[in-house]
Amino acid sequence: MKSFRLASVMRRRATACWLVFILLSAPGAAQQPAPLAPVELQPLAAQIKRLIETLDYLGAPLNSSDRQALEQALNETDAAWANRAVQDALDKHRLVDIHINPEGRVRVAQGGVRPELVERGWRTFLVKVRNEAGVTAPLEIVSANALPVHARAKADSHSPLSHNPRPSITESDVVNRWLEISLYTKPPMRQRLSGLVFEYFIVQLYSRDEGKREARLSFHVGQGTQDLGLRNEVDILFTCQPSTDVTLRVLDEQGKPATASFIIRDAQGHIYPSQAKRLAPDFAFQQQIYGKVNQLSTPAHLMRYDIVVDVAHDLVDLYSTVDTPSVSELNMWYHTLNAGFRPRIAGETDFPCIFGQRLGMGRSYVQLDGRLNFDAWLQGLRDGRAYVSEGKSHLMDFRVNGLLAGTRGSEIKLDKPETVRVTAKVAARLDEQPNEFIRGRRPDQQPYWDVERTRIGATREVPVEVVVNGQPVAKKNLLADGSVRELAFEIPLERSSWAALRIYPSAHTNPIFITVGGKPIRASRRSVEWLLKGVDQCWSQKAPMIAEKERAEAAAAYEHARQVYRRILAESDQD
């Protein structure tokens, strides 16, 4: 479960370009390769046709003169002449020459093509290998400049709870890891060498940066195949052309700023910016981009995911639900409500981090008056004039004593204990026959929220419960045939409380708060004790990973949360 504030800015660069380079086997850049025995015409023609087809698909076709030369060569009956013509047409483009000698050792030298890349874009290079050993292993390319720029920090080996964790990737590592490389081995290309005396592969390079950047490329065909003296490596100075800034301004149907999700990819499926080269605030495991750091996160008020701490600082508008196990989500939320805090809930899919199937696995249904308006929808979500669901059950028009949830602060003031009337329009939809696969899954297995989990036995009914201070106090069964029905409950209240409706775990309303005799909600000492222990538990796990210069400020924030909970605990008299 995550807490969050609502803000969004998006600005990113996107450029996709292609370049071709060829790796030709050669003992050294200054030496001419020894004459090759000709490749027979039929396999030669097959590999060149695959090459041309793939380059066309990748948007990096050969120029017309080279293409014409290749077509003429493949129509020849003289194998030796055809071999020379193919190499004459392609060798002029080579960036790197690879030579596998008769002992299977790999040597590499830079070729003569201009080494140019483009910032935040991919370029594609052809690979030509001279294979005197007839090796048929996969060709591998590696580079220290293409290593990841993100990894978990490592604690001191002498102390698992080190107070000064060592980052596994330094700032200089990030600077040097500007490249991404990938051999293109999808059909019709192949992953393994064929064993022919020369053949062509394709490799794609991505540059994070603009300007001059040097990379060391290493090639091998298995452990122990590197030549002596590091001759399987080549250092190449690239010129990375700058990309063009693109500003995305997102507006709704009324021309007002709105939020949106952008996934930028080219025809070959490459994601921009490259996920492997992303730094905060973007995530490598997500395709979409986030833009600038949230404006609500400042040195004085950093955004965190320690909900028990954030709630005590009054920094939580909403809890996300439906995207993690329901027991954990509602347990945390119920405890904070029992302590007198008033955060609302919203449905979240967390696509594609948690759910990769589709958007809308967790939904927020907001009740609006009049025409749909994004600002009004957002305000309704913040006010709690909404319920969450996975979309198969609904709790509409939830009211207590006629007060609609999310209006007038969702608060009813009673002078003395009395019975309140809870009403709602409810609906659910179940298939006639149970889905045993979903019914049999543990609460911590997806789908976490699903109306099938609520089915009563083998019937087509589900329970609609009134929840007061985290406990179900009344229940009525609902036929889940998709029809909307009105339900009403009479609930006696002896003290200040919160109340909500649920079809658990499928749908849940936001709460309505009922104060009795002007007293705040202090529903459970055990809830406050749980929150207080939660602060200590979070600190024990987070403190060792907090940098020394930030630890004092973090400790003060946690201590403030403890003091808030201790004060509430002193005011609580109910277990």
pLDDT in tens, 23-49: 333 333 434 555 667 899 999 999 999
Alpha carbon distance 211, 240 (integer Å): 5
Can you tell me the mean pLDDT for 299-311? 64
Tell me what percent of the residues of the chain surpass a pLDDT of 70: 81
Q: Which residues pair with 503 in a beta bridge?
A: 507
The pLDDT value recorded for residue 21 is 36
Distance CA 45, CA 86 (A): 10
Q: Using CA atoms, how far apart are residues 506 and 388, in angstroms rounded to an integer?
A: 8
Higher pLDDT, 25 or 124: 124
Q: Is the pLDDT of residue 164 over 70?
A: no
State the sign of the Cα–Cα–Cα–Cα dihedral 321, 326, 331, 337: positive
pLDDT at 480: 97
Please state, rounded to an integer, the average pLDDT across all residues of the chain. Answer: 84
Contacts of 305 (CB under 8 A, 6+ apart): 2, 3
Using omega within 30 degrees of 0 as the cis cutoff, is the peptide bond preceding 138 cis?
Answer: no
Residue 390: Cβ within 10 Å count: 22
Asked if the model's pLDDT at residue 503 lies above 90, the reply is yes
Say which residue, 136 or 277, is predicted with more confidence. 136
Percent of the chain surpassing pLDDT 90: 57
Question: Would you state the pLDDT for residue 25?
Answer: 34
The pTM is what?
Answer: 0.54
Residue among 190, 76, 72, 192 at smallest CA distance from 134: 192
Over range 60-66, report the average pLDDT.
Answer: 88
Evaluate the omega torsion of the peptide bond into residue 281 and state whether it is cis, within 30 degrees of 0. yes
> Would you place residue 291 in the very low, low, confident or very high pLDDT band (cuts 50, 70, 90)?
low
Residues 425-450 as b or e (16 or more Cβ within 10 Å = b)? ebbbebeeebeeeeeeeeeeeebbbb
pLDDT of residue 30: 38
Which residues are bridge partners to 141 per DSSP?
219
Per-residue pLDDT band for 93 (boundaries 50, 70, 90) equals confident
Q: Are the C-beta atoms of residues 322 and 363 closer than 8 Å to each other?
A: yes
